[in-house]
Homo-oligomer: A and B are copies of this chain.
Amino acid sequence: MATRGHDAADNRAVRSGAPARSSGAETKAAIYSAAVDLFAEKGYAATSIRAIAAAVGIEPASVYNHFSNKEEILYTIILNSTEESIALIEDYVAHAGDSPAERLKAATKAHVIFHCLNHKTAHIGWSDLHSLSPALYKKVALVRDHYEAIFRRELLAGIESGQLVDTNPTLAINGIIGIGSRAAVWFRPDGPMTDAEVGEYYGDFVVRALRK
């Protein structure tokens, strides 16, 4: 299901929302992609609109045809990648059958795979989330609540069915999220394991930790 290649989804994210391939949509996609690279490499605060424009090969003023300001670019990156990860997780869960333990495993696996394949946007979401103004932060927080709610739903179903231990769901979910975030740091696409193998490992790890 997941596209192979590091940060493949980073590019998919902006393309999926773009209209038919006009030059404007291509420029917007190029700005988005350059911002992902620069924010991940230098951090949000150290990256200027001028630097983003230079990476794309356009004038700084042209960036404002597509984004109101630098913060809107950051917001779009964090929102897109969170929503993409949610879509991947729901897709895996939908194909996992009825067993809550299997569904929780599938959700964990997809979460880990997404982070393996999108290490740049994951790093930005982790490091620069606090750079958003309160209004935009609040919007992102709502989508992140939805993210966590998927895991909570499957975990509670597993507790109710008697398959999983009635433990502290909030801590369990934060553990799962932390495992994925860390994978975004250490995973290398040319390493000894594929993203799917890493996802499989942690899916089993989490279910073992929570199975009754």
Q: List A residues at the B interface (Cβ < 8 Å).
A: 41-46, 126-128, 130-131, 167-168, 171-172, 174-175, 177-183, 186, 193, 198, 201-202, 205-206, 208-210
Contacts and interface: CB of A to CB of B under 8 A. Distances in A.
14 contacts: A41-B130, A42-B45, A43-B46, A46-B46, A167-B201, A167-B205, A168-B201, A174-B179, A174-B182, A175-B182, A178-B182, A181-B181, A181-B182, A208-B210
Among all A-B residue pairs, the 5 with the closest Cβ atoms: A178-B182, A45-B46, A209-B209, A127-B127, A178-B178
A180 B178 contact: yes
Contacts of A46: 43, 45-46
A178 B183 contact: yes
Given A126-B127, A171-B202, 4 more contacts: A43-B46, A167-B205, A177-B182, A178-B180
A180 B193 CA distance: 23
Contacts of A208: 208-210
B183 A174 contact: yes
Contact of A209 (B41, B180, B183, B205): B205
A170 to B, nearest CB: 8
A127 B43 contact: yes
A202 B175 contact: yes
A186 B174 contact: yes
A42 B46 CA distance: 11
A198 to B, nearest CB: 7
Nearest to A178: B182
A131 B93 CA distance: 38
